[in-house]
Amino acid sequence: MTEDATIARRTGVSTSPRTAAMWAAVDEVVRARSAELERPLRVIDLGGGTGGLAVPLAVAGHDVTVVDPSPDALASLRRRAAEAQASSRVSAVQGDADTLESLVGRDRPDLVLCHGTLEYVDDPQATLAQIAGVLAPGGILSLVVPQRSAAVIARALAGQFVQALAALDRPDGRWGDADPVPRRFDRAGVVGLIEASGLTITGAHGIRIFSDLVPSALVDSDADRAALLDLERAVAAHPEFAVLADLGTSLHVIASRP
Ligand SMILES: C[S@@+](CC[C@H](N)C(=O)[O-])C[C@H]1O[C@@H](n2cnc3c(N)ncnc32)[C@H](O)[C@@H]1O
């Protein structure tokens, strides 16, 4: 069995239409950086939660520290790491964006993941500055944030036109006070935040472009799921179609520290 197949079997991250395009992009930069440095990477997963990404990276041989304020999430992370036989390469640390600097000693991270977390922090610009500050020279940021444009379209297609208008107009991009997502981002805003932190953007693509828009009743066979997976991967590999990227529930940006 190939290494890819092993990771897929043990974690599912590369075979779910919701995570496959994200994993493909992370896997590519991780392999390239690890080859450059000729060693496994030191990874911090800020807001890594239950380890959906941390554990596959540990299975691939990298050393991952998950920093998350939730003790419940960290307990699930430890269980998931144990099930994947990767506990020795996963550390669970209770903390948040503000504790990053105090966590990092001389061994600066080669990669910081910030997936589905920037919308929760008090000050996204300050968090990105902290990340840029702790990254090793040449280190990589992988950032995933929820997109306003996708929420507007999803609410409109669900017939929730008032909510769609709210998501369009509100500065925080939420469709209402009951929206579980605390903040959404526009592509230009994310680019501005990253550049202001001193990092250089090397790639950006939309994720969950079709898998969140298509009714699940239309994806009821393994062949449908496989075709949807291929479509998500293919669209993500064509960043020139920016209009399609804007339809993604989330925007995935890769940036590096000069
Ligand atoms: C939507 S989950 C994302 C989990 C995971 N990164 C993923 O992509 O599936 C958001 C995570 O951010 C964590 N979180 C909330 N506020 C945070 C903060 N200020 N600093 C770091 N993590 C935070 C939560 O505990 C939760 O695990």
Delimit the domains of the chain by residue range: 3-147+185-256, 150-182
CA of 69 to the centre of ligand 1 (A): 8
Cβ 18 vs Cβ 211: under 8 Å = yes
What is the pLDDT at residue 11? 63
What is the pLDDT at residue 22? 94
Residue spans of alpha helices (H) in the chain: 3-11, 20-37, 54-59, 71-83, 100-103, 124-134, 148-157, 161-169, 187-196, 222-236, 242-245
Residue located nearest, by CA, to atom 12 of ligand 1? 47
The CB density around residue 103, as the number of other CB atoms within 10 Å, is: 15
Cβ 138 vs Cβ 163: under 8 Å = no
The CB density around residue 38, as the number of other CB atoms within 10 Å, is: 6
Cβ 245 vs Cβ 239: under 8 Å = yes
What is the pLDDT at residue 1? 47
Task: Determine whether the shortest distance from the Cβ of 139 to ligand 1 is under 6 A.
Answer: no
* Sheet order of strands, 250-256 included: 90-94, 63-68, 42-46, 111-115, 140-146, 250-256, 200-207
Task: Determine whether the shortest distance from the Cβ of 56 to ligand 1 is under 6 A.
Answer: no
Ligand 1 atom closest to Cα of residue 68? 22
> pTM of the predicted model, to two decimals?
0.94
CATH number assigned to the domain covering 3-147+185-256: 3.40.50.150
Task: Determine whether the shortest distance from the Cβ of 16 to ligand 1 is under 6 A.
Answer: no
CA of 1 to the centre of ligand 1 (A): 33
Euclidean distance between CA atoms 88 and 70, whole angstroms: 21
Q: Average pLDDT for consecutive 10-residue bins of the chain (258 residues)?
A: 56 83 94 98 98 97 97 98 97 93 88 98 96 97 98 96 98 98 97 98 93 89 90 86 90 97
Helix, strand or coil, per DSSP, at residue 63: strand
What is the pLDDT at residue 4? 57
Nearest residue to 144 via CA among 29, 231, 16, 254: 254
CA of 89 to the centre of ligand 1 (A): 20
What is the pLDDT at residue 62? 98
CA of 143 to the centre of ligand 1 (A): 12
Task: Determine whether the shortest distance from the Cβ of 146 to ligand 1 is under 6 A.
Answer: no
* Token digits of residue 191: 């680019």
Task: Determine whether the shortest distance from the Cβ of 124 to ligand 1 is under 6 A.
Answer: no
Largest CA distance in the chain: 53
What is the pLDDT at residue 2? 56
Instruction: Please report where in the chains the tokens 């610009």 appear, as a residue.
Output: 125
Cβ 190 vs Cβ 251: under 8 Å = yes
